Amino acid sequence: MVLLLSSSCEKWLDVNKDPNNPSEANEKLTLSAGISSIAYVYGGKYQVLGALWSQHWTQSLGASQYTGLDSYDINSSTFNGQFNELYSGALANLEYIKNLAAENHSWNYYLIATVMQCYIFQILVDLYDQIPFSEALKGEDGILNPHYENGPDIYDSLIARINNALGKDLDNEDIPQAGSEDLLFNGNIEQWKAFANTLKLKIFLRQVYARPEVAENGIKALYNDPEIKFLDTDAAMTQFTNEAGRRNPLYETEIMVLGDNPNLVLSNTFLRFMNDKGDIGRLDALFNYPEQGGGHKGLDQGNYNDPNEPTGTNSSYYSKPAFNPLDPIYLMSVTESYLLQAEAIIRFNVAPYADAKELYQKAIDKAFNRLGFESGESFYSPGQPYEFPAEGSSPEEFIQSIIVQKWVSLANIQSLETFFEHNRTHYPKESPVPASDDNYVAGEFTVSVNNVTSGRFPKRLIFPETEYSGNPNTPAKKEVYDKIWWDKKVDE
């Protein structure tokens, strides 16, 4: 995967130049490299991680590529390549842009680089809890072993960095403007402002159980500013073509490399929920029908080596994710943006109930639109399975509806985000019984059949081995079931 990521980025961009020793590097050349670096990681192995741990997908029978992830049996080497790529690739390129843009007063580039860096740092904090931050990317200053910093402090710094970038003279027509090298918005600075504000909203919401006052004050400040706008379009990399090195990274790894036989199949957790709600159209769009047999068939989460499975070890009897060479990589979808806003309104009364309901319904519509459907109204209209709770319902009813809909709507595109949201809110709920039990409730998470954690769900990644071997400041090793700092919700 690491080799593919490096070669694919190089082939697609052909601008992989060392930003510390550039012959002709500038903001334009380096920006595409920075954005594509995070896109290939987020839309590649991080998507697989999220989809397995969010129970959209599970390891197929008769294969072993993802058995470690699916059984929560990971170690300090499992995600070395992705950690290193984000620091030495994406973050380093973006740091170069920030420094050059500050020197040249190219404030639009400064905002873009800052927002993308903050986006990446949040993902890393949410995966590892502690990461190198303020001392990171300072090799030229002689800091070769950066200290790790705590999540709350990093979160506060992310907000400060975004605010600082938003406060620059972004509307000055005389400063350099980004164009096609901006792989997300083609230089539309208004959309970057909206992305920045929506990222701030997500950062605050992530803290609602760990630091409720910080979350509330931050969100109310956002909504008290009449100039604030949130993202109303997808932040997605779409510039793929159907040729080697320029395709969607998951298509390259799961279809091209594996001969059109991905080692991933539909999880019964997701299948049974979609069947229970009658959401078959979206299921058909997200998963291919089995090569043999009738309708969709899934596998209990982590049950990849059960000899008692009726179809033995033949994965061709199971539904598999639909990968296409031109699939965009969504760093933040408009569906996610709308659902974040709906949650903020419900939690803090920063807008009327009707606004939250409208945003929730628009989020569902956008998710259906993405898969080729006109709308999702038939599923959220009165009496239907995705109807928004009535005004006056309990807060938990609202939050459950919003987060479960996020879990459904971001399947196959932002599964890592749904993993984070499950750990934050505990929705979808976790089942006290296995999927084979008559009392199992469709859509509840079941611990992997082959788990190595004594029945505990995964919460985090392990600090990379390259850090242990190269940075003496790396914290003591953690277990995959140790909680991230913001995972503080107490269920009633």
Determine the pLDDT at residue 94.
97
Q: For residue 314, tell me if it sits in a domain.
A: no
As a whole number, mean pLDDT of residues 353-379 equals: 98
423 in a domain, yes or no? Answer: no
Q: Quick one: DSSP state of residue 333?
A: -
**Per-residue pLDDT averaged across 387-391, rounded?**
98
The pLDDT tens digits for 13-64 are 443 444 444 444 578 889 999 999 999 999 999 999 999 999 999 999 888 8
Residue 431 lies in a domain: no
**Domain membership of residue 234 as a residue range:** 1-265+453-492
Residue 19 lies in a domain: yes
Predicted pLDDT of residue 310? 61
Please choose, from the candidates 129, 117, 70, 119, the residue with its C-alpha nearest in 3D space to the C-alpha of residue 92. Answer: 117
The pTM (predicted TM-score) of the whole model is: 0.94
Q: How would DSSP label each residue in 107-119? A: HHHHHHHHHHHHH
Least trusted range by pLDDT, from 156-170, 293-307, 372-386: 293-307
Rounded to an integer, what distance in angstroms lies between the CA atom of residue 9 and that of residue 281? Answer: 34
Q: What single string gives the DSSP state of each residue in 277-321?
A: HT-HHHHHHHEEPPSSSSS---B-TT-TT-TTSTTTT-GGGS-EE
Which residues, in sequence order, are bridge partners of residue 330?
236
Q: How confident is the model over 282-321, as pLDDT tens digits?
A: 999 999 999 887 799 999 999 998 766 666 567 788 999 9
Name 105's Cβ contacts closer than 8 Å, sequence gap at least 6.
Answer: 169, 175
pLDDT digits (tens, 9 = 90+) for 418-469: 999 999 999 999 999 998 899 999 999 999 999 999 999 999 999 999 999 9
Give the total number of structural domains in the chain: 1
Tokens of 21: 């020793």
* pLDDT tens profile 65-117: 999 999 999 999 999 999 999 999 999 999 999 999 999 999 999 999 999 99
Q: What is the pLDDT of residue 313?
A: 62
Question: Would 14 be classed as within a structural domain?
Answer: yes
Give the per-residue SS3 of 405-452.
HHHHHCCCCCHHHHHHHHHHHCCCCECCCCCCCCCCCCCCECCCCCCC
Task: Give the pLDDT confidence score for residue 20 in this predicted structure.
Answer: 46
What is the Rg, in whole angstroms, of the alpha carbon atoms belonging to the chain? 22
Query: CATH number for the domain including 118?
Result: 1.25.40.390
- Domain assignment present for residue 209? The answer is yes
**389 in a domain, yes or no?**
no
Q: Can you give the pLDDT at residue 18?
A: 47
Whole-angstrom CA distances from 44 to 301, 329, 395, 489 are 21, 9, 35, 30
Q: 325 lies in a domain?
A: no
